[in-house]
Structure formats: C-alpha cells, structure tokens
Amino acid sequence: MKNIVILISGSGSNMAAMVRHAQQEQWSKRLQTRVSAVISNKAEAQGLDFARAQGIATVVLDHKAFDSREAFDAALMDEIDRFEPTLVLLAGFMRVLTAGFVTHYAGRLLNIHPSLLPSFAGLNTHQRAIDAGCRFAGATVHQVTSELDHGAILAQAVVPVLPDDTADTLAARVLTQEHRIYPEAVAAWLRSQG
C-alpha cells in the first residue's frame, strides 16, 4: 500500500477534498494508495478534526517550539517518515520549507498554489491578480523545489476575474477548482509511478 501524508495549517479543505476523492475513486483498491496521515503545525487547525473523523492518523508539531526552521523541518521529516510516504502533499501548509526538507522528498513533494504559476508566487495571490488587471486567475499543482512556487507544473485550472471581484470572491471561485485539480493531479502522478 502506498502512503500519502498531507501537511496542513488551517481548515484543510484541500486535504478533505483529497480524502473524499480517494474514497469515491477507491484509491485503496485501484491505486493501492491511502491517505495515511495528516500533520499540522497548528493544534487548532480545523482540518485535523476532519482527518480524525475519517480514521486518519493525525500529528501536531508546533513550529514555535523549535529554535530554527531547520530544527522544525528535521522533526517534521521524522514524523512524516514514520508513515513511509510515497507522496507528501502540501495543502495550505503555511511554512516555507528548507532546502534539506525539499531535497529529502525530491520528486514526491507536491503543492497546490492559488495562482497560475509562474505568476504570483507567494502570498496574497488573488489581490495581486486583481491589482494587476488580470482577466484570468486560477490554481496550479506543482512539484515542490527549493525555489518557492517554481517547480514543474502538473496541472492548472483557470477562472475568470470578474469586474466586481474582491480577493475573497476570487479566492472562493479558485478554491473550487483547487478541490478538483489537486486530487486529479495526484491520481495521475500515482498512475505514472506504476
């Protein structure tokens, strides 16, 4: 059985979409894959409750308890590796990862980003797209590299930017596409691995 570990920091809506998709598409039977753990750097992350309700192992590792980013990432790697992951997914995990962490999971670390990369890497993507006068925005599933939001693109979805959009209304429309393309991209990645 191939194990997926998902990292979250908040509501975990992309994680929940992934778990639901895996259940509906019978990944355990068809892809010999399961979501084996959800790890958060915040104890109050609501997504942990969803994961627990699904019988998925959860771990909380507070980044504030560590003296450095490197120390936190080393402890995080130890927690992730206990689940022997085939794939590690970032799903609203609001931490910039060290090069050592990224190298450790090279080729099997994926992220969903709320913009059409390479445009608008980093934060505040929706407001930046509106401010730039973009007519389209969207989401990108990509491989994680040590350069923030610049890895190989695996999937993208496009939504229009409407004249009366705010960052919140655009974010909500993009999020529905994130929930669709992230599980599809993960399933395609798993099938490509044989």
CA distance 14 to 20: 10
CA distance 163 to 184: 30
Which of 154, 130, 136 is closest to 144 using CA atoms? 154
Helix (H) or strand (E) segment spanning residue 104: helix 99-104
Q: What angle do CA 110, 107, 103 make, to 5 degrees?
A: 95
CA distance 188 to 182: 10
Q: How many helices (H) and strands (E) does the chain have?
A: 7, 7
State the catalytic residues.
113
Q: Give how far Cα 180 sits from Cα of 4, 15, 156, Å.
A: 18, 12, 10
